[in-house]
């Protein structure tokens, strides 16, 4: 117990038998029976403090008025004071997961970052081109549409080339052309390789502004040396596997390219993912889909719920609607039950029902959609992996999978859940050949909405890209196990408590997001088969890897909460549309439709 906790508890005798819990706090029945009365008193004090902080923030807002953004528009969002300490000042985590860009392709020339090696202003690296017998140095590429290269596990190994980092052009030349589905990891989406090209500050001005004003992570590695699908599995579960029996978490084995959920097997992911642990600790969450799920992604028979809908489990637990987590001190007091968790009859019935609603759909290999990017909206199955996990059916939490419009509503209302994951559709994803300008605009809209939210001062936004997309990067990925790490990707941290203009050189992966969430909301509980109450056969606990850095280092929790930095959603820059001219003008580059 912290000293502050002890002083509060010591002043609160005698202990009451019952404590009133305000509506914006959640205590599940199982948790209430396990928590000592003294901690219930702390809950009341902490919740009352939050109400007082809200009142103080409202007074400050009236006194200070509007703030000014980079775009010259005004914002009515004013940071409020928080009674929490350290990492617990972050009450909302938002993870924006974009697609297929290496660190060097976006931030290779960022000042102070471990970027493209230069001498006298010229790149020193030169990657061989087998077709011309020459080598190609990294070069600025202002094209809004890029092709990238193949990016499966074999391509990752070939690109790294035993540490030489010189296989990128050869792999791009071997990639398939003219793919009906450009998100296929075997494809190169350009006539000639462009994987040595990099974007400059003038190409992606908003991303560079976030890096200058907040935190840029220059050693963020993909968790797995493979493509988008296993990368998304790692994002939510810290593992990628194939399971011999989808109903038995102990039958899973590590896999770089596991079987994708499909109509015949809609829930093949039997191991435990983070939302199961979060539900157990009473931590609220949302899995938000840009334009909903694509037709081929609705493999579980569960399309995104309306913003007002909650599952039966969430209805019995007020946090599902209130969007608040229980205090961290209380979560830390709830140990995981020993032994495996056995699904109830009701949970099995829910799983059977969702499986029974499936209708066969036309798909490619492993259920991959056949339509090209941008022609049909919605998040494809390779990115919308959560409905394929058995545990999210067992605990009745499918109602937390929602359309992205629900996040915008929650931001406006100040009712963001404790944790939000945001997945793009193909057009907004930046996955080649999707336009860079459209993806940056989409991300900016999301960040602006959160900055305007009453929740801004207690929110941490993490932005990253799921894999390298075949693009050049010069840093050799470290090895933690047989699955990872993969090639380096960009990482950004945006928060009222984020350090200003800070380049984080720690070794990181998507496992660091799991670790941060577990430390902030669950008292450091881990996805650990020995302690999490739902054992699976994963070979280790990725969050505990010695090499993995700590995202808390990107924050200064002693600083005054910073004001929002609102940016234009269609910034003028140096990108060139496929049809010529800058993005935003009439032509091939068109603005996104996502947002309020």
Torsion over CA of 497, 503, 505 and 507, rounded to 10 degrees?
Answer: 50
Torsion over CA of 15, 20, 24 and 30, rounded to 10 degrees?
Answer: 70
Both 193 and 123 in one domain: the answer is yes
Residue ending a domain, among 198, 232, 251, is 198
- Is 222 domain-assigned? no
Both 192 and 129 in one domain: the answer is yes
pLDDT of residue 308: 66
pLDDT of residue 259: 93
- Is 83 domain-assigned? no
Q: Does residue 153 surpass a pLDDT of 60? A: yes
Mean pLDDT of the chain: 79
pLDDT of residue 301: 52
Residue 500, C-beta contacts closer than 8 angstroms, at least 6 positions apart? 213, 214, 562
- Is 505 domain-assigned? no
Q: In terms of C-beta density within 10 A (0-12 exposed, 13-18 middle, 19 or more buried), how is residue 19 classed?
A: middle
Q: Does residue 91 surpass a pLDDT of 70? A: yes
Q: Does residue 475 surpass a pLDDT of 50? A: yes
pLDDT of residue 296: 66
Both 7 and 64 in one domain: the answer is yes
Q: In the structure, what pLDDT confidence band is assigned to residue 224 with cuts at 50, 70 and 90?
A: very high
- For residue 152, the 8-state DSSP code is S
- Is 441 domain-assigned? no
Q: Does residue 454 surpass a pLDDT of 80? A: yes
pLDDT of residue 82: 46
Q: Which residues pair with 484 in a beta bridge?
A: 481
pLDDT of residue 157: 97
Residues in the chain: 596
Q: How many domains does the chain have?
A: 2
Residue ending a domain, among 54, 75, 96, is 75
369 vs 393 pLDDT, higher one: 393
- Is 342 domain-assigned? no
- Write the DSSP string, 193-229: --TTEE--TTTSHHHHHHHHHSEEEEEEE-SSSS-HH
- Is 229 domain-assigned? no
pLDDT of residue 141: 97
Read off the pLDDT of residues 38-71 as tens digits, 9 standing for 90 and up. Answer: 333 333 333 344 433 433 344 433 333 333 345 4
Q: Averaged over 551-566, what is the pLDDT?
A: 97
Nearest to 104, CA basis, from 490, 478, 536, 573: 490
Residue ending a domain, among 198, 220, 249, is 198
Read off the pLDDT of residues 188-211 as tens digits, 9 standing for 90 and up. Answer: 888 899 999 999 999 999 999 999
- Per the structure, the complete domain to which residue 31 belongs is given by 3-75
- Is 188 domain-assigned? yes
> What's the Cα-to-Cα distance from 53 to each of 48, 79, 457, 541, rounded to whole Å?
9, 11, 12, 37
Percentage of the chain modeled with pLDDT above 90: 64
> What's the Cα-to-Cα distance from 340 to each of 368, 528, 532, 534, rounded to whole Å?
33, 12, 9, 5
pLDDT of residue 255: 97
Q: Averaged over 90-117, what is the pLDDT?
A: 98
> What's the Cα-to-Cα distance from 170 to each of 61, 393, 506, rounded to whole Å?
57, 43, 30
Q: Which of 41-55, 149-163, 230-244, 430-444 has the lowest mean pLDDT?
A: 41-55
Q: Does residue 20 surpass a pLDDT of 80? A: no
Q: Which of 249-258, 282-291, 367-376, 585-594 has the lowest mean pLDDT?
A: 367-376
pTM: 0.79
In whole angstroms, what is the distance from residue 455 CA to residue 323 CA? 11
Q: Does residue 9 surpass a pLDDT of 50? A: no
- Is 456 domain-assigned? no
């Amino acid at each position: 117990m912290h000293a502050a906790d002890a002083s509060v508890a010591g002043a609160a005798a005698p202990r009451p038998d019952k404590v009133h819990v305000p509506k914006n706090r959640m205590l599940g029945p199982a948790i209430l029976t396990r928590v000592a009365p003294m901690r219930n008193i702390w809950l009341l004090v902490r919740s009352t403090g939050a109400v007082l902080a809200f009142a103080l923030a409202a007074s400050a807002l009236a006194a200070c008025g509007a703030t000014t953004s980079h775009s010259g528009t005004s914002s009515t969002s004013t940071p409020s004071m928080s009674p929490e300490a350290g990492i617990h000042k972050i009450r909302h985590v938002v993870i924006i997961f974009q697609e297929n860009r290496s660190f060097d392709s976006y931030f290779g020339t960022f000042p102070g970052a471990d970027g493209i090696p230069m001498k006298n202003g010229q790149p020193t690296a030169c990657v061989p081109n087998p077709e011309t017998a020459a080598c190609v140095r990294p070069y600025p590429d202002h094209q809004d549409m890029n092709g990238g290269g193949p990016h499966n596990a074999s391509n990752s190994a070939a690109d790294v080339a035993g540490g030489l980092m010189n296989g990128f052009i050869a792999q791009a030349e071997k990639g398939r052309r003219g793919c009906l589905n450009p998100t296929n990891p075997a494809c190169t989406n350009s006539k000639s390789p462009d994987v040595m090209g990099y974007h400059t500050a003038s190409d992606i001005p908003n991303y560079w502004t976030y890096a200058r004003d907040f935190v840029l992570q220059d050693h963020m590695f993909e968790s797995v040396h493979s493509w988008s699908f296993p990368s998304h599995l790692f994002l939510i579960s810290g593992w990628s596997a194939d399971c011999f029996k989808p109903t038995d978490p102990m039958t899973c084995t590590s896999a770089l390219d596991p079987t994708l959920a499909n109509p015949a097997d809609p829930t093949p992911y039997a191991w435990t993912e983070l939302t199961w642990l979060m539900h157990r600790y009473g931590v609220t969450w949302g899995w938000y889909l840009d334009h909903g799920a694509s037709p081929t992604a609705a493999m579980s028979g569960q399309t995104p719920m309306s913003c007002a809908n909650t599952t039966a489990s969430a209805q019995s637990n007020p946090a599902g609607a209130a969007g608040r987590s229980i205090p961290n001190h209380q979560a830390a007091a709830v140990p995981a039950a020993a032994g495996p968790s056995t699904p109830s009859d009701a949970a099995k019935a829910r799983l059977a029902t969702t499986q029974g609603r499936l209708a066969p759909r036309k798909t490619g290999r492993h259920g991959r959609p056949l339509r090209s990017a941008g022609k049909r909206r919605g998040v494809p199955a390779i990115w919308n992996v959560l409905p394929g996990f058995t545990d999210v059916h067992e605990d009745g939490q499918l109602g937390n999978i929602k359309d992205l419009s629900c996040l915008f509503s929650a931001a406006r209302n100040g009712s963001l859940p404790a944790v939000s994951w945001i997945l793009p559709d193909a057009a907004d994803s930046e996955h080649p050949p999707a336009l860079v300008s459209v993806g940056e605009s989409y991300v900016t809209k999301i960040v602006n909405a959160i900055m305007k939210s009453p929740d801004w001062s207690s929110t941490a936004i993490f932005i990253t890209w799921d894999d390298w997309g075949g693009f050049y990067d010069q840093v050799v990925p470290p090895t933690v196990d047989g699955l990872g790490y993969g090639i380096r990707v960009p990482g950004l941290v945006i928060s009222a408590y984020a350090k200003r203009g800070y380049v984080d050189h720690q070794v990181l992966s998507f496992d660091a997001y799991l670790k941060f969430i577990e430390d902030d909301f669950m008292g450091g509980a881990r996805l650990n088969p020995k302690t999490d109450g739902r054992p699976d056969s994963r070979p280790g606990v990725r969050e505990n890897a010695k090499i993995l850095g700590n995202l808390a280092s990107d924050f200064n929790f002693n600083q005054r909460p910073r004001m929002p930095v609102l940016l234009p959603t269609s910034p003028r820059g140096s990108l060139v549309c496929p049809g010529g001219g800058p993005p935003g003008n009439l032509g091939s580059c068109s603005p996104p439709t996502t947002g309020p």
